[in-house]
Structure 1
């Protein structure tokens, strides 16, 4: 039973790390976007500078989706290891068996977990740019 519990702990630590990375990305996204908006608000810069804010927003959106997908893959592995017998445990962290089961990256980008955070941010940036230009 010790091997099974140890393997489950390894997988759980990976899942926790992916979740923490996702949380940190959301914090960095807000921080960087606010900093770009504040910098663009100085007297000599115009609204064209705000286009730069889209770069980290889109990049972090993709990266956050990637972390969420990896987390889902490891959750599938966790479920499989949980149901295995003790003598079959091999401490494998290979998630390639679940690639077809877990949603594709583009679907995760627009999922409730990720999309509900990044789509409004990108919308606010875009609307602000258009309002300042027209």
Structure 2
């Protein structure tokens, strides 16, 4: 592997790192906003704050899924440049090219990211718990 290929891999890795950092920050912001809205509920006893907390969960879920999708595409490029991808799946990548449009297969699809094991449990369970909590607080569900 020559210096130009190594530099190309460094560029790709820096993008992957940036996507991963963005994803981590989105999770932190989601938890912060949900906590703030639940604190408003605790202060006012207005159950609508619990339901409103579902909105940032959904927004951050969509954003985080987008960043994961992009990260997966760049990982695909990285694997193709390094030769780690099996030959039957390998995409041709020229030096310093980052052809995201070539990565449309199932594992690079948005829905695959949306329901991934790293994203769905956090956002999905949070949204469901907020919704159920709101119903319980309103008295719609009794134990």
Task: With the length of structure 2 as denominator, give the TM-score of the two structures.
Answer: 0.84
Contact kept in structure 1, 2:51 and 2:134, CA below 8 Å? yes
Aligned counterpart, 1:13: 14
- Equivalent positions of 1:40-79 (< 5 A) are 40-43=41-44, 45-79=45-79
> How far, CA to CA, are the matches of 1:98 and 1:107 in structure 2?
13
* d(CA) in 2 for partners of 1:23, 1:78: 21
Alignment of 1:82-101 (within 5 A): 82-83=82-83, 89-101=94-106
Secondary structure at the residue paired with 2:135?
A: helix
Match of 1:114 in 2: 119
CA drift at 1:117: 1.0
Deviation at 1:79? 1.1
Alignment partners' CA distance in 2, 1:99 and 1:106: 11
Task: Provide the aligned C-alpha RMSD in A.
Answer: 1.5
Answer 1 or 2: which has greater helix percent: 1
Cα shift readout 1:61-120 (whole Å, capped 9, x = no counterpart): 11111111100000010111113xxxx843112211112253421232112111111111
Q: Which runs of 4+ in 1 moved over 4 A?
A: none
Q: Distance in 2 between matches of 1:61 and 1:26?
A: 9
TM-superposition CA deviations, 1:2-27 (whole Å, max 9, x none): 10000000000000000111111111
- How many Å separate the matches in 2 of 1:8 and 1:103? 19
Are the aligned partners of 2:16 and 2:71 in contact in 1 as well (CA < 8 Å)? yes
